[in-house]
């Protein structure tokens, strides 16, 4: 992996939180994550989802590593058929899912990709790997060319499952996925503020030019309606707001 871009963005956004990088082999990375020695890691799919989470990032180009003076070096791209006469090394840490390895069978399998690179540099056979591994083991006397019909390797970002995902891990996931600094996805949202309560309307006093009772319920006007003890009618009812003025208080009996 070449995570320089993501590390730079991390340092810009979180300058007070150091981000430490550790280089491990493809065979070791899952153990490092499960042991808690790393918070997140770049892995090759598939991933065991029983205890690890992962998001696919991209599919790598597959290349063949050859000496610079090899005939393959003259081409821009080759196929597996072009390697039919070559001894193709398959190290024990091979990351490609071959149905059938191209070329001539080797007498043994190198323990690591680095060991296979040494054999290619010695002029014995060729090696087909994801492009990032060819770059990792770059040598001045070697080069590589894309293999158009070889299996490919998918790279993902993986981290131990936890609920919820730790904030700093979520921050790194966002950087890798290209979220902007203003994006709120994956971060806790600010809770909505309660709306201010409206003031209750003042009750009608029965003495002004108008009341503040609710309309349409009849609650305020129901009491104002009905006949007074002298036989006259009180305030008008049924229309909503109680009216003051002419409908005043009933007279007392002598």
Dihedral angle, C-alpha 18, 22, 28, 29, nearest 10 ° = 40
* Residues 53 and 164 reside in one and the same domain: yes
Convert 64-89 to b/e letters by CB count within 10 Å (16 or more is b): bbbbeebebeeeeebebebbeebbbb
Cis peptide before 68 (omega within 30 of 0): no
Asked if residue 73 belongs to a domain, the reply is yes
In a domain, 28, yes or no: yes
Q: Indicate if 112 and 126 belong to the same structural domain.
A: yes
Helix, strand or coil, per DSSP, at residue 212: coil
* pLDDT tens track for 35-65: 999 999 999 999 999 999 999 999 999 999 9
Indicate whether 122 belongs to any domain.
yes
CA distances from 120 to 65, 89, 124, 125, 138 (A): 8, 9, 5, 5, 12
- What's residue 211's pLDDT? 42
* pLDDT (0 to 100) of residue 208: 44
**Is 48 contained in some domain?**
yes
pTM surpassing 0.75? no
My answer on whether 48 and 164 are in the same domain is yes
99 located within any domain: yes
What is the pLDDT, as a whole number, of residue 203? 52
Domain that holds residue 80: 62-151
Encode the chain (254 residues) as per-residue pLDDT tens digits.
Answer: 778 899 999 999 999 999 999 988 888 999 999 999 999 999 999 999 999 999 999 999 999 999 999 999 999 999 999 999 999 999 999 999 999 999 998 989 999 999 999 999 999 999 999 999 999 999 999 999 999 999 999 999 999 998 899 999 999 999 999 988 776 454 544 444 555 555 555 554 444 444 444 444 444 433 434 444 444 444 433 334 434 444 444 454 54
Same domain, 77 and 141: yes
Residue 129's nearest CA partner among 111, 116, 118 is 116
Q: What are phi and psi of 144, to 5 degrees?
A: -150, 155
Last residue of one domain, picked from the residues 99, 117, 151: 151
Tally of domains in the chain: 2
Order of strands, sheet of 62-67, starting from the edge strand that comes earlier in the sequence: 88-89, 126-130, 62-67, 142-146
Q: What is the CA radius of gyration of the chain?
A: 39
Strand partners for 65: 127, 144
Domain termination site, one of 82, 117, 151: 151
| Closest to 218 (Cα-Cα) out of 244, 237, 235, 202 | 237
Q: Is residue 190 part of a domain?
A: no
Other beta carbons within 10 Å of 60: 18
- Residue 82 and residue 139 in one domain: yes
Q: Of 12, 23, 21, 46, which is closest to residue 181 (Cα–Cα)?
A: 12
- Are 147 and 86 a contacting pair, CB within 8 Å? no
Write down the pLDDT at residue 196.
53
**Are residues 114 and 78 both part of a single domain?**
yes
Element (H, E) at 170: helix 167-176
Regarding whether 76 and 142 lie in a shared domain, the answer is yes
Same domain, 46 and 73: no
**What pLDDT is attached to residue 185?**
52
Give yes or no: residues 50 and 162 share one domain: yes
Does residue 168 sit within a domain?
yes
Find the CATH number of the domain harbouring 31: 3.40.190.10
Looking at the structure, tell me whether residues 104 and 127 fall in a common domain.
yes
């Amino acid at each position: 992996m070449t995570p320089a871009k993501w590390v730079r963005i991390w340092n810009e956004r979180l300058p007070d939180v150091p981000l430490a990088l550790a280089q491990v082999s493809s065979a070791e990375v899952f153990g490092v994550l499960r042991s808690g020695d790393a918070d997140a890691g770049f892995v090759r799919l598939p991933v065991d989802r029983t205890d690890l989470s992962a998001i696919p990032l991209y599919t790598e180009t597959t290349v063949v590593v050859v000496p610079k003076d090899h005939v393959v070096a003259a081409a821009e791209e080759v196929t597996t058929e072009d390697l039919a006469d070559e001894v193709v090394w398959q190290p024990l840490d091979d990351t490609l899912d071959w149905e059938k390895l191209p070329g001539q069978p080797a007498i043994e399998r190198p323990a690591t990709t680095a060991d296979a690179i040494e054999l290619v540099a010695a002029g014995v056979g060729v090696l087909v790997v994801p492009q990032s591994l060819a770059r990792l083991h770059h040598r001045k006397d070697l080069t590589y060319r894309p293999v158009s019909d070889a299996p490919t390797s998918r790279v993902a970002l993986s981290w131990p499952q936890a609920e919820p995902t730790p904030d700093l891990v979520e921050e790194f996931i966002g950087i890798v996925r290209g979220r902007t600094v203003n994006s709120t996805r994956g971060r806790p949202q600010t809770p909505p503020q309660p709306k201010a309560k409206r003031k209750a309307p003042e009750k009608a006093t029965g003495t002004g030019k108008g009341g503040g009772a609710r309309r349409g319920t009849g609650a305020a006007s129901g009491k104002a309606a009905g006949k007074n003890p002298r036989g006259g009618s009180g305030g008008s009812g049924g229309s909503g707001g109680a009216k003051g003025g002419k409908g005043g208080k009933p007279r007392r009996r002598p």
